[in-house]
Amino acid sequence: MSCKRHADDTSDRRYARVARPVVLAGGELTLEQLDLQYDAYTKLYQAPFQVKANGGVLILDDFGRQRVPPKDLLNRWIVPLEKRIDFLTLHTGGKFPVPFDTLLIMATNLEPSQLVEEAFLRRIHYKIQIHGPDPDQYAEIFARCCDERKIQYDHDSVLYIYQEYYGRQGIHPRACHPRDILDHLVDIARFYEGKPVLTNDIVDRACRSYFLDDVRKE
């Protein structure tokens, strides 16, 4: 949580400007983590993900790959999604309401119809299909990832990846590919104690390591 206050600020100092929380949960999520977790030794409770995300965003990544069935997970959230109120249970059995004021985002690469029935999908008001980037978008993502890693961007390297991997091997471009390929490139450069630069040789090494399934087909 971040807090900012100007030197000449005359507002009530009991209030502070904070950043909205962003909470990410993935395949490790269980139903137990959506309720209070009581520690018998410290006598303290651990708040569930949706409480930590109140006033912000709760991202459920890889929806459908949790250790709990998607139907059970959505059953747990039917009331909070509709009433914007959740009910938590104390270890003594008592229940109390808390606000459910969070933007819930569920991300999956599975067919939604295979995860839950139509009645549940209605409660998820917005369904957005995200396609892979086109060449211009891909180049923009690649350039931004290069900038984050202090690597000199070279558009010829993007063209090389499109020709050798997306073109010849029929791989579909994904928005995460530039980040992952460049991370491989940085690791390779670190291993050889060199500076990460975009050359066809090191890009090819990074891509061969990343697109492993396609290498095995050769």
The model's pLDDT over 70-112, given as tens digits with 9 standing for 90+, comes to 888 888 888 888 889 999 889 888 899 999 999 988 888 888 8
- Total-model pTM: 0.68
Return the pLDDT at 130.
Answer: 86
Residue 52 in this model has a pLDDT that exceeds 80: yes
Q: Are strands 17-18 and 3-4 parallel, antiparallel or unpaired?
A: antiparallel
Confidence of residue 7 (pLDDT cuts 50, 70, 90): low
Residue 114 in this model has a pLDDT that exceeds 90: no
| Interval 153-209: pLDDT, tens | 999 999 999 999 998 888 899 999 999 999 999 999 999 888 999 999 999 999 998
Kindly state the average pLDDT of the residues 15-36. Answer: 86
Return the pLDDT at 92.
Answer: 87
Return the pLDDT at 215.
Answer: 44
Return the pLDDT at 218.
Answer: 44
Return the pLDDT at 151.
Answer: 94
Of residues 207 and 15, the one with the higher pLDDT is 207
Return the pLDDT at 214.
Answer: 45
Cβ-in-10-Å burial (0-12, 13-18, 19+) of 21 comes to middle
Confidence of residue 3 (pLDDT cuts 50, 70, 90): low
Return the pLDDT at 73.
Answer: 83
